[in-house]
Structure 1
Amino acid sequence: MDVRISVIIPIYNVERYIRECLQSVARQSFSAYEVLMVDDGSTDQSGRIAQEYADRYSRFRLIHKENGGLSSARNAGLEQAKGMYVCFVDADDYITEDYLCRLYEKAEETNADMVIADYREVEEQGNIIVKELGQPPRQGCMDRRQLLQALTSVGECHYATTVVVAWNKLIRREIMCRHFFPEGRLHEDEYVIMPLLLECGHVEWIEEVVYLYRQRQGSIMQSAETAMRHLEVLQTYQNRIALCRQLQEPELLQAFKRAYFWNIEIWYYLMRTRYGVESSRLYGVFSRRMWGALLRYHHVFGRRKTMEYVIFAISPEYYLNQYFK
């Protein structure tokens, strides 16, 4: 079988959603693709359902492994991929019938290393969540500066998410195989996206909505210990600053530094309001982060804003109540 695209689907305890996902992949109008389903040690019926598709469709292959997390499952699929391109589909999401066709045609037509598709969030039942999306980029080639600028966005920006995540993209396999996902970490996409974008010489964007991302109820209800692990993502912003220093783009470098401050601020807010972590557990972590940022990057803001962040470093909770908008 001629394999142009390898579709990698990490699977872990998603018995409620996996049939819809696999069925959407099975009914693609594109034909030159393989499907690598990676069962990451599921304890429900997910593995059995995936086996049904492996038995029914010759292009579907099931890989079993011990539980190692999303990155480990994606990497296991990537190691066995044969296609010229790879794409990732999360097992609780689904894609339109022309998903692979649209992305592959754009890649071949333009000789792109990566094609990014638009997406929409859907509820558990499949209804599209209506929300403000902001100004979309123009369809076509996206220059490196435009892509990297998206990584400086703060908050839940739809088009920044579109650039960051792994699951709405077609990527040349030889490039992706040089950027495996970091295992044992949350926010794994945040770690690989900037090095990946820097290596991709040509990135295309298609504005059609061809990927449906499921927003699952209760997915943010976590213990304080688990919630605190999300703070690993702050390291990715420092990594981006280090990478940007090599680009000789002073304005972009300043934007990444400002984004680091804003993300410290945003993540404190999220820890307190979304995850309900007590301020006493957060003080040391965020105070150290902010003092460190002020020592290294205080020059990126005027005096007034710098003093506000000094107040944050002294008392994040006071800052949250007095200044956060």
Structure 2
Amino acid sequence: MILSLIVPIYNVEEYISDFFYSIAYQMHKDIELVIINDGTEDNSIHILVSLIKEIIHPNLQANFIILSQTNSGQSSARNYGIKEAKGRYIGFIDPDDIVAENFISLLLHSINLNNDTDVFHYNAKKINENGTVILGDINYVDKDQSFIAEKKYILGMFEQDIWYPWLRVFKRDIISEFQFPINILLEDKYLFPKIYISRVNKITEINSSLVLYRIRGNSSLNNKDKQEKILESLCCGMKEYKDSNNDLLYSIYLQYFWSYLYDISKFNFKYIFYRMIGFKKEYCSFINVKSKKEMLVTRFPIFFVLFLKFKRLLGTF
């Protein structure tokens, strides 16, 4: 088996047919879809099973592996999929998205030409919730190329901050050494920088949009419970990387923290203002003060949030 594609399923019956039809007619004997039923409460799995029997050639039906677990979240489902996957390479797809009609052919072609590559990158397009309008591009790659990942390139990736799991395919020997963290948000930001710094050597980039990423209305940034979970998750990342003594990873997570403070404050400034008052002691305990900006955030987090709002009003941030 060349490629395993892991698909966590939870309450996506509205979108699952679009996803399935986009990939069904591309299926290949060297591809398996590892579908993880994460305790879905709707008809998603029933729809999938029916479509597999109806559309997929009998010789390929065994390439659709359906596994089940009690609802434990997307990270747990992906970890289960990684454990059970048989492919030399492993990728991830979200079942509310759509793949391009050349998704599998391009990936197989690239893998066959570059079978010593550690990770493949490609691009995506954003679509609206109905899947009828292209809203823009996610341009992660600008040309077809293979190269050794030097520190300058890795730093550029961090600045791009495009860590979606479905924009890359990893060599199984690498991704299987790691696990997506459980019970935190932004798990890709938590995990992938660590993988790239410690294990990725050769990268192959495919300058094609292979995924149509569906923009849905339930933004985490506009949900108070998820706002809290985002801040807690970012704190976990900063603590993890401070304890690891990896200054690069730590500084990345600190930048994420500032960025999300700003983004959440656009939706709920009052929440951020009062949350930072209570958070100051905990926050200060694992911040390494190395610059004037960090000193401002550490000692005066409330003023920093006010500063972000002022910058936004001026249109300079």
TM over 0.5: yes
Match of 1:297 in 2: 289
Matched, 1:11 2:9: yes
Equivalent pairs, count:
302
Cα distance, 1:323 vs structure 2: 4.2
User: Quick one: which of 58, 61, 67 aligns to 2:71?
Assistant: 67
SS at match of 1:315: helix
Contact 2:165 2:188 in 1 (8 A): yes
Q: Where in structure 2 are the equivalents of 1:103-122 lying within 5 Å?
A: 103-110=107-114, 111-122=116-127
User: Quick one: which of 99, 104, 121 aligns to 1:100?
Assistant: 104
Matched, 1:192 2:191: yes
Matched, 1:124 2:129: yes
Cα distance, 1:213 vs structure 2: 0.9
The one-letter code of the counterpart of 1:129 is L
Tell me the distance in 1 between the aligned counterparts of 2:156 and 2:310. Answer: 29
Tell me the distance in 1 between the aligned counterparts of 2:169 and 2:294. Answer: 41
Tell me the distance in 1 between the aligned counterparts of 2:268 and 2:45. Answer: 31
Cα distance, 1:7 vs structure 2: 1.4
For the structure 1 residues 173 and 266, does the alpha-carbon distance in structure 2 shift closer, same or farther, using more than 3 Å as the test? same
Cα distance, 1:148 vs structure 2: 2.3
TM-score when normalising by structure 2: 0.82
Contact 1:39 1:65 in 2 (8 A): yes
For the structure 1 residues 307 and 134, does the alpha-carbon distance in structure 2 shift closer, same or farther, using more than 3 Å as the test? farther
Contact 2:234 2:256 in 1 (8 A): no
Cα distance, 1:138 vs structure 2: 3.9
Matched, 1:263 2:256: yes
Matched, 1:318 2:306: yes
Match of 2:155 in 1: 149
Match of 1:272 in 2: 265
Cα distance, 1:68 vs structure 2: 0.4
Please give the per-residue CA displacement for 1:152-211, whole angstroms capped at 9, x wherever unaligned: 32xxxxx531xx221122211122111121122211111221232231221111111111
Cα distance, 1:81 vs structure 2: 1.0
Deviation larger for 185-194 or 284-293: 284-293
Match of 1:203 in 2: 203
Tell me the distance in 2 between the aligned counterparts of 1:319 and 1:145. Answer: 32
Match of 2:46 in 1: 48
- The answer for unaligned runs of 5 or more in structure 2 is none
Please give the per-residue CA displacement for 1:247-281, whole angstroms capped at 9, x wherever unaligned: xxxxxx56x66545543332222222235662454
For the structure 1 residues 285 and 120, does the alpha-carbon distance in structure 2 shift closer, same or farther, using more than 3 Å as the test? farther
Percent identical among aligned pairs is 22
Deviation larger for 50-59 or 233-242: 233-242
The one-letter code of the counterpart of 1:189 is D
Match of 2:234 in 1: 233
Tell me the distance in 2 between the aligned counterparts of 1:101 and 1:134. Answer: 20
Tell me the distance in 1 between the aligned counterparts of 2:257 and 2:31. Answer: 42
Contact 2:8 2:35 in 1 (8 A): yes
* Backbone CA RMSD of aligned residues: 2.9
TM-score when normalising by structure 1: 0.81
Contact 2:90 2:169 in 1 (8 A): yes
For the structure 1 residues 258 and 185, does the alpha-carbon distance in structure 2 shift closer, same or farther, using more than 3 Å as the test? closer
Match of 1:172 in 2: 171
